Structure 1
Amino acid sequence: MSFTVALTGLNAANENLKVTSHNVANANTTGFKGSRAEFADVFANGGQGLTDRTVGSGVRLASVRQQFDQGSIEFTNKALDVAISGDGFLTFAKGDELVYSRNGALGTDRDGFVTNAQGARLQVFPASADGFDTGQLQDLRVSTADNPPRATQSIEAALNLPAQGDVPVNTPFDPSDASTFSHTTSVTAYDSLGTPRTASLYFTRTATDGEWELRTQLDGQAVGAAQTITFDSSGQIATPAGGQITLPAAPVTGGADDLNLTLDVSNITQFGGGFAVNALRQDGFATGRMTGIEITKEGIVQARFTNGQAEQLGQIALTEFANPEGLSKLGDTAWGESFTSGPAVRGVAGSGNLGTVESGALEASNVDLTKELVNMITAQRSFQANAQMITTSDQVTQTVLNIRR
C-alpha cells in the first residue's frame, strides 16, 4: 500500500510542477492570471481495512484555482492599448460567442474594427442621444472618413465699444473707407460645404448717445440692412431685446446653402476706454480629418479631428462575474462564462464594482517569479521525498522476500 501512497505523492508533485511551470512560462504574457494547485488528502472508505481508513491513502489534486489579483499597469503610449485598474473584464465578440479578457493589446483590422491578436472584436455600448445605450453591444469600429462640416448659424461678439468717441464725419457707409465707420472686427464662418467665409462686423456711432449702427458683411457683401443697438446708462445692451439679431439669408458661391446667421450681441458693452474685442465666436467648422483616438477613464472612445471636433465612437463594455474563478479557461488569456462563474453582469468603467480604464497602458501578468521559483523548489523536494519513499518501500519488500525459513 505504501507504494500506492507514495505514487500519489509523485503525481501531486508533478502536477504542482506543471502549474508552476505554466505560470513561469507566462510571466511576461499580457493580462495573464496565474494559477495555484490545491491538494486534498485521500482516505479510503467502504470495504477497506481499519488502517486504510485512519492512516489515509495519499493525496490528490483537488483544484487548479485561477488567481485574479491585479497585475501591474505598464504604460505603452499606444492609444488603443487599454488596461483595467480594478475588477472587470474587457468584452470581445469571437464569431457568435462572447469571450472575456484582461489583455487590452488592441489594434484595427482592414475594415477598421478594433480587435485583439486573435481577431476578436472589442465590444462597446453605442452612442445615443442621451449618452450611451448600455442595453446593447456593438463592435467598436474606427472609420477613416472625414468629419462632415457644419454651417455657421450663430456669431457671438463679446467686445467693448468706447463710451466716448466721435461720430464718423463721412457718409455714406463704405467698408473700404475707415472714415465712414467707427470700428470693425471679423471672424471666419463656414458654409454648409465647410468653405471658410469672412464675416465682418462694422460699428458706427450715431449722433444719439448710447446708439450704434451694426452692419454685417459676408465675403464683402452686405447681409441685410444696418441694425441699431443701444445701451443703457450702465453700459449694458438695451436693444435689441435679448441681444439677438436674426439676419436675412445670405447667398454664397460654390453650390453651398444660403447662410442663415444670428448675431448674439448680448455681451457687447459700452464702457469708458477704448475699443476692445474680448471674444468673437461662431459655431461652424470645416471638414476634418481624423488625427487620433482618445479613451477616457470611463472607457469613452473618441475620435479627434483636425477641425477641433471629437466624435464619440462608443463606451467600452466591462463585464464582471460573481465568481470569476469559475470562468472557463479558453486560452489566449481569454475566459468564457460558465455555470460556476454565474451570469455576466455588464456595465461601464467606474460603476458598481467595476474598475477604471487606463488608456495607453497594458496590465502585466500577475505572476510573482520569486514566489514561483520557491514553489518549484518545494515541489521538487516533495517529488524527491516521495521517490525516496518508493525506494524505501522497495527495500523493505526485498528484505521480506529474502527471509529464509
Structure 2
Amino acid sequence: MSFNIALSGLYAAQKHLDVTANNIANVNTVGFKGSRAEFADVYSSSIFANAKTQVGSGVSTSTVAQQFHQGALNFTNNSLDLAIQGNGFFVTAANIGDLDRTYTRAGAFQLNSSGYVTTAQGDYLQVYDVNDDGTPKTVSLDSTIPLRIPDAAGSPEATSKVNMSMNLPAGSTALDPANFDPTDSDTYTSSTSVVVYDSLGESHTMTHYFVKDSTATNTWRMFSYMDDQPVDITGGYTPGGSVPSGATLVFNSQGLLDTTVATNPNPNPIVTEQLGSGGAGIITNGADGTQTIEIDFDSITQYSSSFEVTALSQDGSTVGRLTKVDIGADGLVAATYSNGTTTKLGAIAMANFPNSQGLTQVGDTSWKASLSSGDAVPGQANTGTFGKIQSSALEASNSNLTSELVELITAQRNYQANSRALEVNSTLQQTILQIR
C-alpha cells in the first residue's frame, strides 16, 4: 500500500512539474493562459472498515485548471494587433462559411492574399455585419462573416452636384462682365475651384469665377470653366464675345440671394451644359458625355466682408485605395480610402462562456466550447460584461515567471520527498526479506 501511495505522490509531483514547465515555456506566448494543477486525496473505505484507523490511498490529479485572468498589454504599431481588455474571446473559423467556431485571446492578426483578416494559422476572424450607423444587424455567432478589408473602394461615381457656401464682398469694385478673361485677374472679382469626377473616375478641376456687374445693382455674374475650358450655364446670361454663358446672382438689400427676381436662369440651383461632345466638349476619354453638374448654393451672401468660401463639396468619387484601418473599442472596423470615403466593414464578434475553465484547448492558443464550458454567449465589445478592444496592442501571457519558478522549486521538493518515501519503503521491505 505504501508503495502505491508514494507512487501516486510521484505521479502528482510529475504532473505539477509538467504544468509548471508548460507555463514557463509559454511565458512569451501572446494570448496564452496559464494552468494550475489541482490535486485531491484518494480515500477508499467500505461499510465494514474502521474509519478511525483508515489511511488514505495517496493523491490524484483532479484537474488541470486554466487561469483566464488578464495578461499585460504590449503596444505595437500594427492596427491589426488586437487585445481584449476584460472578458471575452475573439471568434474565428477555419474556413469561409464554416459554422464550427474556435475562440482565442491571441490578437496577432494579419491579412492573407485575398484581403481577409486571419490568425497566423490561417483561421478567419469573424465579425457582425453592420448598418450604416455602425450598429450590428444581428448579434449571433451563426450570422458572423469573415472580416475582409478591400484594397479598393467601390466603382467610380460621376459628379452630379456641387454644393457651395460663400460670401461675396459687397465693397468690391464693379466690372464689366463683357471684359471677363480667366487669364486676367483684373477682369473678375473672385474665384474658387473644386475637383469633380466623370463616370470613369477621372478627375477634372472645375473653377468658378465671380464678377460684380457694373451694369446692374447688387448683381454678380458667375462663369464656369473645367480644365481651363469654358462650360456654359444652361439658359444663362451671355455678355457677348468669347465670354461663355454664365449664371446671374441678384442680392437684396440685406445681402441675401433674391430668388424673387426674374433672372435667367433661376439663381439656385444652376445647371451646366453637357460636358461631352454634345456640349462643352471636355469629356473625351470615353466617359458619359451627357454628364451635367448642378451647382447648388447652400448659403451665399453679399456682405461687406472679404470673399470667403465656408463650404465646398461634390458628390462624385474615383476608385479609392486603402490608406488606413481603424478599430474602435467597440470592435467597429472602419477602412479609409484615398478618395476620402470611409467604409464600415463590420463589428468584431465577441463570445463569452458560463464556465471558461471548461473550454477545450485545441492548441495555437485557441479553445473550443464543451459541455463543461456551456454554449458560447455572443456579444459586442465594450458592452455588458464584454471587455473593450484595444487596437495596436497584444495581450501577453498571464504566466508570471517569478511565481512559476517558485512553483517549480515546490514541485521539485515534492518529487524528492515522494522519492524518499519510496526509497524508505524499499529499505523496509529489504530488511524484512533479510530476516532469518
Same fold at TM > 0.5 = yes
Matched residues in 1 for 2:404 and 2:178: separation?
91
Matched residues in 1 for 2:204 and 2:67: separation?
62
Query: Could you report, residue by residue, the CA deviation over 1:143-195 in whole angstroms, capped at 9, with x for unpaired residues?
Result: 33464322223323232212223432363755556566433322221122122
Matched residues in 2 for 1:388 and 1:247: separation?
99
Q: 1:276 to 1:140 in 2, by over 3 A?
A: closer
The one-letter amino acid paired with 1:315 is A
Q: Which runs of 5+ in 2 are unaligned?
A: 237-245, 277-282
Match of 1:263 in 2: 295
Matched residues in 2 for 1:14 and 1:396: separation?
25
Matched residues in 1 for 2:379 and 2:90: separation?
11
Count residues with an aligned counterpart.
404
Q: 1:170 to 1:351 in 2, by over 3 A?
A: closer
What displacement does 1:39 show?
0.9
Match of 2:279 in 1: none
Match of 2:86 in 1: 86
Match of 1:113 in 2: 116
**Would you say the 8 A contact 2:152–2:337 is kept in 1?**
no
The one-letter amino acid paired with 2:382 is G
> 2:197 is matched with which residue: 177, 190, 193?
190
Matched residues in 1 for 2:171 and 2:201: separation?
40
Query: Could you report, residue by residue, the CA deviation over 1:198-243 in whole angstroms, capped at 9, with x for unpaired residues?
Result: 2222323345543333343444221321443343444344437998
Matched residues in 2 for 1:240 and 1:308: separation?
38
The one-letter amino acid paired with 1:289 is R
Q: 1:262 to 1:338 in 2, by over 3 A?
A: same
Match of 2:271 in 1: 247
Match of 1:201 in 2: 208
Moved more, 55-64 or 322-331: 55-64
Matched residues in 2 for 1:118 and 1:209: separation?
74
Matched residues in 2 for 1:156 and 1:17: separation?
72
Query: Could you report, residue by residue, the CA deviation over 1:40-59 in whole angstroms, capped at 9, with x for unpaired residues?
Result: 11221226732687432221
Note if 1:389 corresponds to 2:396. no
Query: Could you report, residue by residue, the CA deviation over 1:27-75 in whole angstroms, capped at 9, with x for unpaired residues?
Result: 1111110000111112212267326874322211111100011111112
SS in 1 for 2:169: coil
Match of 1:301 in 2: 333
**Would you say the 8 A contact 1:92–1:122 is kept in 2?**
yes
Q: TM-score, normalised by structure 2?
A: 0.83
Matched residues in 2 for 1:49 and 1:5: separation?
19
Moved more, 348-357 or 201-210: 201-210
Taking the TM superposition and a 5 Å limit, the aligned residue runs for 1:373-384 are 373-384=405-416
Identity, in percent, stands at: 42
Match of 2:25 in 1: 25
**Would you say the 8 A contact 1:44–1:52 is kept in 2?**
no
Q: 1:4 to 1:390 in 2, by over 3 A?
A: same
SS in 1 for 2:302: coil
> 1:126 is matched with which residue: 126, 129, 133?
129
The one-letter amino acid paired with 2:121 is Q
Taking the TM superposition and a 5 Å limit, the aligned residue runs for 1:46-85 are 46=46, 49-50=49-50, 54-85=54-85
CA-based RMSD: 2.7
**Would you say the 8 A contact 2:232–2:272 is kept in 1?**
no
SS in 2 for 1:317: strand
SS in 1 for 2:301: coil
Query: Could you report, residue by residue, the CA deviation over 1:261-280 in whole angstroms, capped at 9, with x for unpaired residues?
Result: 33232332221133333443
SS in 1 for 2:397: coil
SS in 2 for 1:21: helix
SS in 2 for 1:267: strand
The one-letter amino acid paired with 1:139 is P
Query: Could you report, residue by residue, the CA deviation over 1:239-294 in whole angstroms, capped at 9, with x for unpaired residues?
Result: 37998414155323223233343323233222113333344332323222223433
Q: Which runs of 5+ in 1 are unaligned?
A: none
Moved more, 322-331 or 46-55: 46-55
Note if 1:235 corresponds to 2:255. yes
The one-letter amino acid paired with 2:158 is A
What displacement does 1:85 show?
1.6
